Chains A and B, each alone.
Chain A
Amino acid sequence: MKQTASSPGRRILAIWLTALAIDRWQLAEGISPAPFALLSESAHGPRIAAINAAARSAGVQPGAMLTDARALCPDLAVHPGDPAGDRAFLEKLALWAQRWGPWSALDPPDGLLVDVTGVAHLFGGERGLLNDAAARLAVRGLSARLAIAPTAGAAWALAHYGPGRAVHDPGDGLDQLPVAALRLDPATLLVLRRLGLKRVGDLSGVARDALARRFRSTRAPGANPLIRLDQLLGKVPEPLLPVLAAEMPLVQRRLMEPIRHRSLLDQVLDDLTADMARLLEGQAKGARRLDLALWKVDGEVLSRRLELAAASRDAAHIARLFAGKLDDLDAGFGIELARLSAPWCEPLALSQADFERAAEAHGTALSACIDRLNARLGEDAIRRPQPFASHLPERAQRWLPPLAPESASQNELAFHARPLKLLDRAEPIAVLYASPDGLPRRFRWRGEVHEISRAEGPERIAPEWWRERGHVRLRDYYRIEDGQGRRYWIYRAGLAGDGRGGVPEWFLQGLCA
């Protein structure tokens, strides 16, 4: 990317997949001679997104409403389109297209740009390269138009509006192309059409400062024809974002003999984790998620997933965690292939081991401890509370993953007096009280009656009116102690006669020490 677009010798190959969505559909479902269309949802109902040749010959137009298309072609078969799948397919294709150049970029929704500077001789010249690309795309079942030009803008214009397989040299003119070849927005194209500017050459005929004044308020390239024209001619650089392949670390072992015993599987697992650790170390990464897949002789696949609290590539640690998950494994007639992959990795710098052997045995890292507890207790069993600004006790904290970064601001806990243990869900209790808004005297909880010997309160907490509905009642919290010295935290939801329900109910929400 050091070269600028204006430097001589830059060559860009533009690939326009003219019917990407339909080609993908036909690759997956097979070619059918009947009229067929893919749909997209719009605010006014389904709309035709892509059509096959039969539908086109029947008069269906892309962009039309489905009902209009049905009127033209009653036997039109339709299916919802898959723009996300198209995009993923295009990304894979961009990586594959790097066979013709060192880097490639996406040109959504249905195009690719490949930098072919200085590589054409490998294919017998640029004509040969175009022929090779067209042939290989045709083999994959994709219809495409190709062009090679000094700039991305020119290559795109020729691929879309030029003759097929055009090779453009810096001196050649592009004046005869329509202004739509400048990659402009529909609104800008409409403006240019109303101005009578139909071809790229017409823009050169108009004084440049007049155009600059007309479009002075638009900075986006797609809305400003001057910027697009300069990009087409290579007068201003146009940065492109290349696609880089990110390979998932993966190690596997094919076994000579299917194994059926746990001890052998443990050995295989140790080997796999050691391989994975070496692989990750080479990439300076640590795994956060690991997938272990075991292929049995009969073709069935057993899979186990492991998530780590912090990035790690400690082979012994990973093997130990996996070992806890293999106890219920049914090997059947034996396992013949074991594969370990790390779909989620994070950068983890190399660290120097201690010189002393003893220094390494100083204990367990917190992340390793959390991993072991997680493996033993289950996912999400370990969480960390984070204070949250709310007066309601159950909303006064949020739960975060154990090693999530703490919030930037810390302050004192603002609540008044809270019990050590808070129940997940407040439990209804039956309370005997002297007066409706007085202190409670006796309560029944989980079938047991407790006499209240001491009580303190109330602490009144109003509902959060900006969040909750209007009929939510306030709470009066009491700290109470029963005859055995056990302390509880109970509340009465509502007041008698507050107009938000009948007799107030009582709940037990917390247990003091």
Chain B
Amino acid sequence: VPEAPLTPERRRAEGGALPPPTRAPFVELGLVSCFSFLRGASDAVDLATTARALGYDALGIADANTMAGVVRLHGEAKTLGLTPVIGCRIETTEGLAFLAYPRSRAAYGRLCRLISAGRMGKLDGEWQDKGICDISLAMLADHAEGVALVLIPPTDLAAQFTVAVESNVVPFVSRPRVLPSASPRTGSAAEGRRREEERDTSHEDTKTQSDRAAPQAFSPVSTSPRALDSELKAAVPQTKPLRVFVSSCESFSNLLPHLIQQLPTLRHIAAAYLYSGDDLARIAELDDLARSHGLSILATNLPLYHAPAAPSAARCDDRDPAQDHGGRAGHLLEANAERHLKARRRWHGCSRAGPTRSRGARRWRMPASSALMNCAMNIPQEVYPDGLHAQEHLEVG
């Protein structure tokens, strides 16, 4: 008896005779493929094929804390003539989530380096457990140069987050220090090391405040958000010689100034219409919030699957309810199966939040996608600029 193969044959998209897609007004970002285990349910073939059938011309992947699904989506999208937008979804240990799309080859390297750092070591320096990725907001800030970030708001906008923010306590420095006028948030390792030295110096200088000077220590110092805001606004334009962090517990709206200050590449807030009852009010609130901080909202459906019709596959986004908890998975699952790729007509039918969202997504896409092509293309070259070896070239950035 011939034995069937243990794994089914890999399916590939068939797009040989397709004409190139017309330019679509909307680009879906934040797509989760099956490489986000127990969350995304659809293979890249299905995602790309469905997107092509729905009239998209580009597709932005964002697997959770991994780049693993990028290769397949890139291949399938190229086969179908779609433009793949390469990126990932960064979920930090503070509970925040970002869509991260690098705009250049060097930024792509930094993003991969960030994921590797989170997967290899815990925040306290211990070896990381398998399958876990710990990325803190400070780590993201260190690697965010050139990476366009989209903030995904939490389900409950009133939820409290504890993040490390810069303190308004300025340590006394005995002698003036001359510092380079570069931005304090260049993400290179050398910059990070230099900053570490500065912190060490500040420890020596201000012995009395050594307990609150650690960047990630959760010290019991509580400062009012208002005071912090004013201090930050006053401090941001200048070159700040010493950066002292305290942990602060803030709601989402109060947190946003800190995020913008720490992440200069954060320009958008993701807004999704997820059929949760008060979507319009929520999108309007997010829009107000974004405008008041100089950001804009960005339409995305945050899709987990390519079609709503495959119920068992489409809704096992967290766990299989039939096996887990004796069929009582309940709230581990989504309430509905609306997080799938949707046609543009359906998008506009259900969204009444104005034209800003789709315009943002369209305008924003181009630089990202063009840059990401290069990193896939230039690996097999024989000769690299500056006489670098292939591995050295990959490690640039």
| Residue ranges of A at the interface with B (Cβ–Cβ < 8 Å) | 388-391, 414, 416-417, 456-462, 464-467, 474, 476-477, 479
Contact = CB atoms under 8 A, between A and B. Distances in A.
Interface stretch (B26-34, B123-131, B135-143, B273-281): B273-281
Contacts of A467: 327
A464 B311 CA distance: 9
Given A417-B277, A456-B281, A479-B277, A462 B327 contact: no
B315 interface: yes
Given A416-B278, A466-B312, A467-B327, 11 more contacts: A388-B330, A389-B330, A391-B333, A416-B276, A457-B277, A458-B275, A459-B276, A459-B335, A465-B312, A466-B321, A466-B322
Contact of A462 (B278, B329, B335): B335
Nearest to B321: A466
Nearest to A389: B330
Contact of A389 (B278, B281, B331): B331
A474 B337 CA distance: 10
A465 B315 contact: yes
Which 7 A-B pairs give the minimum distances between C-beta atoms? A389-B330, A459-B277, A460-B275, A460-B336, A391-B335, A465-B311, A414-B331
Contact of A459 (B275, B312, B315, B331): B275
Nearest to B324: A466
A464 B325 CA distance: 14
A389 B328 CA distance: 7
A390 B330 contact: yes
25 contacts: A389-B325, A389-B332, A391-B331, A391-B335, A416-B276, A416-B277, A416-B278, A456-B280, A457-B277, A458-B275, A458-B277, A459-B277, A459-B278, A460-B276, A460-B335, A460-B338, A461-B336, A462-B311, A462-B337, A464-B321, A465-B312, A465-B315, A467-B327, A476-B275, A479-B277
B321 A474 contact: no
B315 A461 contact: no
Interface band, chain B: 20 to 34
Given A391-B330, A465-B311, A417 B337 contact: no
Contacts of B281: 456
Contacts of B338: 460
A414 B156 CA distance: 11
B277 A477 contact: yes
A10 B53 CA distance: 88
Interface string B143-168: 00000000000000000000000000
Contacts of B280: 456
Nearest to B332: A389
Given A390-B330, A462-B336, A456 B275 contact: no
B5 to A, nearest CB: 29
A477 B335 CA distance: 12
Given A389-B330, A465-B315, A456 B278 contact: yes
A414 to B, nearest CB: 4
Given A462-B315, A462-B336, A465-B315, A417 B331 contact: no
A477 B322 CA distance: 26
Interface string B335-362: 1111000000000000000000000000
Contacts of A391: 330-331, 333, 335
A467 B322 CA distance: 8
Nearest to A391: B335
B277 A474 contact: no
A288 B161 CA distance: 49
Contacts of A465: 311-312, 315
B274 to A, nearest CB: 8
B353 to A, nearest CB: 15
Contacts of B275: 458-460, 476
A418 B276 CA distance: 12
Nearest to B316: A466
Contacts of B321: 464, 466
A491 B127 CA distance: 51
Nearest to A476: B275
Contacts of A466: 312, 321-322, 327
Contacts of B336: 460-462, 474
Contacts of A457: 277
Contacts of B325: 389
Contacts of B337: 462
B326 to A, nearest CB: 11
A459 B328 CA distance: 21
Nearest to A435: B349
B95 to A, nearest CB: 15
Contacts of B278: 416-417, 456, 459
A154 B328 CA distance: 52
Nearest to A474: B336
Interface centre among B277, B322, B332, B338 (most CB of A within 10 A): B277
Nearest to A461: B335
A389 B331 CA distance: 5
Contacts of B332: 389
Interface in B271-296: 275-278, 280-281
Nearest to A459: B277
Nearest to B281: A456
Interface string B286-316: 0000000000000000000000000110010
Contacts of A458: 275, 277
Contacts of B330: 388-391
Contacts of B333: 391
A391 B328 CA distance: 11
A417 B311 CA distance: 25
A477 B276 CA distance: 9
A457 B280 CA distance: 8
A239 B311 CA distance: 55
A389 B329 contact: yes
Contacts of A416: 276-278
B190 to A, nearest CB: 45
Contacts of B331: 389-391, 414
Contacts of B327: 466-467
A391 B321 CA distance: 13
A479 B329 CA distance: 27
Interface in B94-153: none
B278 to A, nearest CB: 6
Interface string B240-283: 00000000000000000000000000000000000111101100
Contacts of A389: 325, 328-332
Interface centre among B278, B328, B331 (most CB of A within 10 A): B331
A416 B157 CA distance: 13
Contacts of A456: 277-278, 280-281
A498 B16 CA distance: 33
Contacts of A479: 277
Contacts of A477: 277
